[in-house]
Every structure is written in structure tokens, then in C-alpha cells.
Structure 1
Amino acid sequence: NKPEDADPPVAAGSLAFAFLQDERTKAVLRESRTLLILRGLPGSGKTRLATAIKDVYEGACSVISADENVKPENNVSGEGHKALDEAIQARCMSGTPVVVVDDANDTHDRLAWLGQHAELHLYCTLFLEPLTEWSRDPEKLVQKSKQGLEKDKIQALKVVLEATSIPLFFGWFLVSKSQEHMKTMKVDFLKTLVSLDAFKNHNQLAFVDGEAEKEVNLEEYFHREGVFHCTTKFCDYGKAEGAKEYAEKQSVKESYGRVSELVLSTLFVTPRTVGARVSLTEDQLQLWPSNTKQDATSDMGMARGSHAHVMLGCAEGVGPVQTGLDLLELVQMEQESQTRDLVQDLELGSLTYYGKGMWALSLFKRDPDIIIGTCGGKPLWRQSTREISLPMFRVS
């Protein structure tokens, strides 16, 4: 006879996540920092999913459950999530590679808090719902849930959950070692640029408000916090044009939570922003939105995805969105063969000045034997003609 509290068999297809099945993804995540935020209705399969993740990442994973950390009596006193939050913070501070939060996580405020703390400790954040066929079926969840909830209560919870199903944006996030390499590359580029006579002669004044005697420190001039990423689709929690349709695309669902390479072809600096241009593959272009206000490249005679980029820093008072606008201007100058000044070849690539304080470094091919970081015995990034490849994690 089977004990009443024994776990039921795993539902077919309910664990079909890339981070559980794809070997490369699993290998990279074991050496990175990822916060997996489980969300869903009572009885939908969150705890079973958490157990599966812990089994796959044994020795590199910590599961933090609301059932174990949130006590009913604490909800009355307003201390409901205190123990849970303290446990999450402790695991992130310790650098545990994979941290799993098993809770409802069904409000914007809660998801925002989790996202902020993940960024604070440079964790990639992945929001997950169980793939069980009954995950949003109130009638079946009445039978599955151990909380004894009525159908009307589960239906009310479903409405709240669905209101937070679409994220602020989708994007590719650089994993830990790639982030460190990207920071080093950015700092080296900025230090080299500011040391060049060409930079001083052309337009150092553009960066120091016309103070001719003042030397500019580009590392301090540009500010950047959080995890480096390349946004694919800004969704505004489902309110942006085409957000719901984008979230339902099969290519988006299949790539969610899967590690692949992001290719950087150019580093660029303007008086407003510093960034890295991304060259998308054909498969990655399937994830790039088209025919929306976000992608104005078609109106400018540019290929779709021409302004894909990683924002590396912004000047004081400048928003991140300006990085993409600056890149579009640079690409347009390049296509129209506007006046440019090929300054010199640097260690990383060929430096060009386009005027108005806008600089671009086209990356060179380097020694293929030079490898930065390893993952499962394979390079974490490689370089080829005019491009640098960095593993990234597709998350929202």
C-alpha cells in the first residue's frame, strides 16, 4: 500500500525546462548565480518543481520554501515574509549558484523586491510556473492543493496571478564570468580611450561641460548597476504593444531559461552612454520583435535587430533607453558613409571617431588559444573576426 502523503508520480512534460534538461545550460548555471522564482497557484506543482531543481543541482542549490519560513501567526503581526526574505538574502550573499524561492510570488511588489535583491548580488532572475496541465485549472487544483481551498478562492488567486504573468521585459543576461569579463573589457576600453591624444584633441570637452583644463575620468562619468543584459522586448507587464503576443511565441517559450552565446561586435562611447553592440544570429533574430515602436530600424533602412546592445553605463541624468538611440545614430552614420576618422588600431580592435563625441571600437580577431574562463572543460567565451562571444542566460 502507498502512504497517503507519498509524492504522486511526476506528470508527463511538467519538468520540460531547459535548465533541467540541457547539459550546457546545467553546466553553466552550476558556475553562475541564478535566482529561480517559482510562482503559481496552490497545488500547481511548485514544490515538486523545486525538488527536481534541487536534485539536478545537488551541492550547488538551495531551496527556500514559504511553507517552512512563513508562519500563519506572523501574517497577523505583519512579519509574514521576514524569515523568508532573510533566508533569500543570506543565500544570495553567500553566492550559492542556484537559489530557488518556492512561494506564490503573485504581486508586482513581491516580484520587484526579489528582482532588486537579485540584481544587488548580481544574480540572473528566472520566473517560473509549473508546466502541469492543471496549473491554472481551479477545479483540479481544489483536489490537488493541500491547503483545502475552495474553488472560488483559487479562482480569485488565479486572477491575481494572471495579472503578473508577463514581465517588465524579456532579455539575454550575461552569466557571472561573462559579466566580470565584460566589466574588465569596458574599463580597459575607457582607460585607453581617455589616454589617447585623439580623444583629447577631438572632444574631451563634450564630457566635461566645456571645462578645458579638467581631465575626464570616464569610469566615474558613466554609471551602471545590476546585471549586464540585452533587452529583446519591453513588455511593461503586458501593457506594451505586442507584449502578450510576444510572450506566447513558441520560440520565446523554447528559449526561456536556456544558455547560449551572445556575440559582441563593437564597443561604443558617446557623451551620454557606453555600450556594446550585439550581432544577432538567425535563431536569435526569431526572438527580436518586429513591426513595433520598439524597433524603428525598418523605417531607417536598417536590418531588424541592428540596435541590439548591452548597456554598459550612462552619464548622470541619462536613462538606459538612450543607449539604443545612440547606437542607432552610429549605425546610421556608418551606413551613410558620413565623415569619420579612423583613429588607430588598438589591442581589441579598430577605433573610429564619428563626430559629436561618438566613438566606436570594431573588435578584432585575437589568438584563438586565449580563453577566459571555462565551463565543463569548454571555453566560456571565444573570439572570432570582429566579434566576441559571451554565454548568456535568457530570462525575463
Structure 2
Amino acid sequence: MGIDWVSLFFCYFSGILLSRDFIVMPGRKKKAHEARLRRKGFIPVRLKVKKKIAVPKATRMASISQLESLEEAQPGSLDEFPFLSDPKTMEYIEGSRTMFIMRGLPGSGKSSLAKQIADAYGNTVVCSADDFRYVDGVYVFDRNKLQESHEKCRELARLSADSSINVLIVDNTNIRVWEFKYYLEIARRKQYTVVLVEPRTPWKWDVHELAKKNGHDVPGRKIREMAGRFEIAVPLYFGWFLNGDDSARVLTVGEQVLKQLSEVREFAEEFKCYSESGTGSLDLTKYFTREAFTGNKNSIHCTAMFTKYGKVPGSEAYTTSEMVVNSCGQVFRIEIVGFLITPRTFGARVRLTAYQKKLWGQDDYETVNHGTPVRGVRSRNISGDSESWDGGLPSSPSLSNRFATLGIEEEIFDEGSADNLANTATEHESEDTERDYKFCPTWGFGRRAHITLGCAAGIPPVQTGLDLIEVISTEAMTSDLSGVESTHESAASDLESVTSELSLISDPGSFSIKKGEARCYGDGRWVVYLDKSIHVDAMFSGFY
């Protein structure tokens, strides 16, 4: 019988270019090669790359029976995963850096789902410790070489990330969080957005079915032990993450705003104490830094829920909720309506859509931290009093609490029930009633949404949201709320009383800059209202 040199060469080449499925080639040729390999009783694995990288030599082959077993373990409808069904999300991923970390028990459909993700994108590498356990084309599990196979898998991921592969897929069981910590560090260093992915097969926790379906003959007893060790991965926070290019674009616009504000005499006078010593020049781009950021210093995001690895009450329920699970890995259009500048923080204000608000879990009324140290700033007082020297930001708890109890946010934007929103809200939906208030653009539920762009030395990024809460309360004092109609009869007199109090607050004054209008709300609190909103795409996920 003659030797099929084409197949032999193909197998050798696939061993050099390690991957998970079939090699990438035009459709007709690809099918012909797959058919030939099926007749031979094995399939090679694939590395879908457009850029050459150095990877370990290895060959993975599976028998037809193993292939059929894997093909049975379908992860469910692709519509359940936005990164496999949503065109906008898929287009975004093609031009960004995304790391999919698979999690699941043997036989749960995890590798089949990894294959489908790899099939969907062009510049992809799949990293699996299993690929380094083949001896002469036969899978051999050797406990003594377990660490070695994982080290090779990690090295492949590192090389791929260093080579700017767009989509990295880590296909291991990852039962416990520490098992994929190394990959999280790679993602942080190379600006990958991490998406944890679990198959949604009906049998994913059925030990009997998993024992039958897994492709490496893992016994039920072992699978049951693994299931008992499976950890719920609660991140530090959930949010909408901008990719590298969009992060750079927003940061550049922010720097432009700071420079334009520095040309406003009143602003320069307030912030001159932060100029570089001995130069006299006001350059706040150096004053505000991102050294305190937990992730990559060049990556920015809008926090949706701070979960602190499960230490925040309700964080595990939020993490496992259907809305959050289904939204992870989905791309949303984020609207930036302005910028906030205080002696402590510099941030971009975000106006959430109705759909995005369903993912909002932050406290819009959290108490401002007045204990955070900050250098003093001479400022104009919006009540008309003389200049004062104060290192902290003033609070107005009585007014804030009264607004909180009036139900004004429900009247400005009545969200209704989650069920009603699910039926009527679209991802690009906006709230016209909120748009009516030029100088109070994010009044209502989700008002605290923002992107921290920089902080003064020693100031944590969380302070940006606290500063924004305080500014929003002050905005309400100086904005015309006469158009707000209270549907709560018991609140009508309170609303009238508060409106009367607000009339005593003087106009903070407006200053035109190239990108919009700036206002000072006292004690170094400045807000820029953009003439034209900035729209950027961002992926919803967690920071682990």
C-alpha cells in the first residue's frame, strides 16, 4: 500500500503549528483535507494565526470515537453567547484583544465550545495542557508530567500574547481560580479583556453523563471530586472595558480637555497650586496619574458593580445572575457626556442606556469620603461667600437625602420592572427625559457611572465616583427642576420646599471651551459638558 505523503506532511506541519481543530484554509480545500484525515482515523489540531509565532512542537490526534464523543457535547444554542452570535460583538473582538478562559468539568462541552470560538475568529490561538500529553499521536495522562504540560501551555499563551494574537483561548478545566491566575497576569500586562466561559449543556453537572461523554476516559469518581472543588469566580469588579485603541482615544480627549481648561483664567487660578514646582506652568496631565489603577495603566473601564472578590454583600448573587452571565463577553456602546475635574480626581461621565442600567449595581448615594487627604485649593464659593481655603469637599447630606426620598429619579426616568425593560429596552435606547437637563445629564438611576482617567498621588480611583455623587447633588441645586412632575402626592410639598431652597443657590458661572461648556461648582469641582457626546464600544466582563 502506497504512502499518503500529503497526509504525512500535513500531520508533521500541524505538529509544529499547535492548535485545537482543523488548519485554516479555503473552504473547499479544508473540507477535502478533513475528509482525508477522517478516513485515516485521526484529526490534527489547528492554530488559526495570521502572524507567525514560535510554539512548542507537538501533535494532537484523536480517534473517530473520541471525536464523535466530543461532537455530542454541544454547548447549547450559540445565541446564548454574544461572542458567537452578536455581529457587533464579533466585529469588535476581531479588532481587539480578548482572552477566553474556559471552565468546566471533563465532558461538559468545554472543548467543543472552545473550538466554536476559535472557528469564529481569524487571529486565534487555543492553549490547552492536553495538547502536550500526546505520545506518538496517543493521549497519555502521566501525573508525573502534569506540571510540565501546564508549563508548556502557559508558555504558549505568553508567546502568543507577546506576538499580538487577538484572541487567546485557554482550554483547561480551571476548577479553582488560582489555576488560571497566570493567564490573568498575561491579560493584564498585554491589555486583554478576560471573559470566563462555561458550557451550558444540560449535563454539565451530571457526573454519570460527564463520565460517558468526556474524551479522555476520566472516571466518574474523579469528576465528582473535581465538581466538589469547583469555585465560583467573583471578580474585583464588573464593568465595561475599553480596548487599547479606544482607551488611548478617550485619554487623549481627556488631556485635550485639561489643556483647554488650563486656558480658562478662573480654572488656572484655582489649580495653580498644582503646577510643577519652579516652572509655574499648569500641566494637570502630569498631576493626574494612573499609578493606583489595579489593571494595565493604559486600559480604562466603567465599573458596573464592585464585588471585591465576593466580600461585598450580594456580590455572588450578582455574579451568578442570569442578566450578568448572559451579558459577559457582550459589547455595548458607551456614551461619554462630559468630564469631572477635582483636586483629587479626573474622570469621564457616562450616561447609561436603559439596557445597561439593568447591569448597574453601584450605590448612587454612597457617602463621600472626606478623610482622603488632598492639598488645599483656593476656590470660588458658589453661595457667593468670600474665597476659602479648604482641603476637602463640602457635603450637603440633608439635600442629598431629601432628593433620595422624593422619588425624583423615578419621575425623570421611570425604569419600571426588569421584566418590562427586558421586553422594551434595546441596547441603544436613551432617556429623552434625562437629555432635557443640559447641566444635569446623568440625574437618575445610574447617575454615578464614570470612567476614571487619573487621580492625584495617593488617591484611589474609587474617589472619582464619590466626587461625582457630590457634584451631581450640586448640579441639582443649580439646575431648573421646574419641569419635574411628582406622581407621589405625599412628595409634592417636599419637592416645592427643595425647589425653594435651590433658588437660593447662585449661578456657578459657565465658561466656553472648544469641546463644550465648563462650570465650577466650588472647592475645585469643575465639570465639562460636551457639545457632542463621545461614543465608544466596550465589552462587559469582570476584572479578576
- Give the TM-score, by structure 1 length: 0.84
Give the Cα–Cα distance (whole angstroms) in 2 for the partners of residues 232 and 307 of structure 1: 10
Secondary structure at the aligned position of 1:6 is classed as: helix
**Deviation (angstroms), 1:40:** 1.4
Aligned partner of 1:40 in structure 2 is: 104
Secondary structure at the aligned position of 1:158 is classed as: helix
Aligned partner of 1:165 in structure 2 is: 233
Cα-Cα RMSD: 2.8
Residue 160 and residue 316 in structure 1: after superposition, are their counterparts in 2 closer, same or farther (change >3 A)? farther
**Deviation (angstroms), 1:341:** 3.9
Aligned partner of 1:65 in structure 2 is: 128
Aligned partner of 1:350 in structure 2 is: 517
Task: Show CA shifts across 1:316-348 (max 9, x none).
Answer: 221121111011111111112255643522221
Aligned partner of 2:182 in structure 1 is: 113
Give the Cα–Cα distance (whole angstroms) in 2 for the partners of residues 69 and 321 of structure 1: 43
Are 2:262 and 1:194 aligned? Answer: yes
Aligned partner of 1:255 in structure 2 is: 327
Match of 1:304, as an amino acid? F
**Deviation (angstroms), 1:259:** 1.3
Task: Show CA shifts across 1:72-102 (max 9, x none).
Answer: 7796695553322222122222222211111
Are 2:162 and 1:93 aligned? Answer: yes
**Deviation (angstroms), 1:215:** 3.6
| Aligned with residue 236 of structure 1, among 308, 313, 316 | 308
Are 2:93 and 1:19 aligned? Answer: no
Which structure dedicates a bigger proportion of its chain to strand? 1
Aligned partner of 2:151 in structure 1 is: 82
Aligned partner of 2:441 in structure 1 is: none
Aligned partner of 1:54 in structure 2 is: 118
Give the Cα–Cα distance (whole angstroms) in 1 for the partners of residues 146 and 197 of structure 2: 29
Query: Given that residues 260 and 514 in structure 2 are in contact (C-alpha distance below 8 angstroms), is that contact kept between their aligned partners in structure 1?
Result: no
Secondary structure at the aligned position of 2:473 is classed as: helix
**Deviation (angstroms), 1:169:** 2.1
Q: How does 1:311-390 map to 2 (within 5 A)?
A: 311-337=452-478, 341-365=508-532, 387-390=533-536
Identity among equivalent positions (%) equals 33
**Deviation (angstroms), 1:70:** 7.0
Query: Given that residues 265 and 277 in structure 1 are in contact (C-alpha distance below 8 angstroms), is that contact kept between their aligned partners in structure 2?
Result: yes
- Which segment is superposed worse, 139-148 or 318-327? 139-148
Query: Given that residues 14 and 130 in structure 1 are in contact (C-alpha distance below 8 angstroms), is that contact kept between their aligned partners in structure 2?
Result: no
Aligned partner of 1:375 in structure 2 is: none
Aligned partner of 1:373 in structure 2 is: none
Query: Given that residues 74 and 80 in structure 1 are in contact (C-alpha distance below 8 angstroms), is that contact kept between their aligned partners in structure 2?
Result: no
Give the Cα–Cα distance (whole angstroms) in 2 for the partners of residues 12 and 41 of structure 1: 13
**Deviation (angstroms), 1:194:** 3.1
Query: Given that residues 19 and 257 in structure 1 are in contact (C-alpha distance below 8 angstroms), is that contact kept between their aligned partners in structure 2?
Result: yes
Give the Cα–Cα distance (whole angstroms) in 2 for the partners of residues 256 and 320 of structure 1: 23
Task: Show CA shifts across 1:353-391 (max 9, x none).
Answer: 2222221111113xxxxxxxxxxxxxxxxxxxxx22211
Task: Show CA shifts across 1:140-177 (max 9, x none).
Answer: 2222223433334323322332x233333221111343
**Deviation (angstroms), 1:282:** 1.1
Residue 325 and residue 12 in structure 1: after superposition, are their counterparts in 2 closer, same or farther (change >3 A)? closer
Give the number of equivalent residue pairs.
Answer: 368
Residue 76 and residue 139 in structure 1: after superposition, are their counterparts in 2 closer, same or farther (change >3 A)? same
Give the Cα–Cα distance (whole angstroms) in 2 for the partners of residues 43 and 104 of structure 1: 10
Give the Cα–Cα distance (whole angstroms) in 2 for the partners of residues 132 and 288 of structure 1: 28
| Aligned with residue 246 of structure 2, among 168, 178, 181 | 178
Aligned partner of 1:220 in structure 2 is: 286
Give the Cα–Cα distance (whole angstroms) in 1 for the partners of residues 143 and 218 of structure 2: 20
Secondary structure at the aligned position of 1:113 is classed as: helix
Are 2:540 and 1:394 aligned? Answer: yes
Task: Show CA shifts across 1:194-225 (max 9, x none).
Answer: 344322212322x369x696544322222221
Residue 186 and residue 75 in structure 1: after superposition, are their counterparts in 2 closer, same or farther (change >3 A)? farther
- Which segment is superposed worse, 6-15 or 233-242? 6-15
Secondary structure at the aligned position of 1:135 is classed as: coil
Are 2:67 and 1:6 aligned? Answer: yes
Are 2:197 and 1:128 aligned? Answer: yes
Residue 195 and residue 66 in structure 1: after superposition, are their counterparts in 2 closer, same or farther (change >3 A)? farther
Secondary structure at the aligned position of 1:85 is classed as: helix
Residue 4 and residue 392 in structure 1: after superposition, are their counterparts in 2 closer, same or farther (change >3 A)? same
Give the Cα–Cα distance (whole angstroms) in 1 for the partners of residues 155 and 74 of structure 2: 33
Give the Cα–Cα distance (whole angstroms) in 2 for the partners of residues 158 and 165 of structure 1: 14
Give the Cα–Cα distance (whole angstroms) in 2 for the partners of residues 177 and 11 of structure 1: 35
Aligned partner of 2:36 in structure 1 is: none
Secondary structure at the aligned position of 2:519 is classed as: strand
Give the Cα–Cα distance (whole angstroms) in 1 for the partners of residues 167 and 320 of structure 2: 26
Q: Which runs of 5+ in 1 are unaligned?
A: 366-386
Give the Cα–Cα distance (whole angstroms) in 2 for the partners of residues 140 and 295 of structure 1: 46
Match of 1:119, as an amino acid? R
Aligned partner of 1:383 in structure 2 is: none
Residue 105 and residue 227 in structure 1: after superposition, are their counterparts in 2 closer, same or farther (change >3 A)? farther
Give the Cα–Cα distance (whole angstroms) in 1 for the partners of residues 512 and 144 of structure 2: 62
Residue 12 and residue 395 in structure 1: after superposition, are their counterparts in 2 closer, same or farther (change >3 A)? closer
Q: Which has the larger radius of gyration?
A: 2
Match of 1:235, as an amino acid? T
Give the Cα–Cα distance (whole angstroms) in 2 for the partners of residues 101 and 281 of structure 1: 33
Residue 42 and residue 14 in structure 1: after superposition, are their counterparts in 2 closer, same or farther (change >3 A)? farther
Query: Given that residues 136 and 158 in structure 1 are in contact (C-alpha distance below 8 angstroms), is that contact kept between their aligned partners in structure 2?
Result: yes
- Give the TM-score, by structure 2 length: 0.62
Task: Show CA shifts across 1:274-312 (max 9, x none).
Answer: 11111111111111127xxx3436956262211011111
Residue 222 and residue 259 in structure 1: after superposition, are their counterparts in 2 closer, same or farther (change >3 A)? same
Query: Given that residues 340 and 353 in structure 1 are in contact (C-alpha distance below 8 angstroms), is that contact kept between their aligned partners in structure 2?
Result: no
Match of 2:351, as an amino acid? S
Secondary structure at the aligned position of 2:90 is classed as: helix
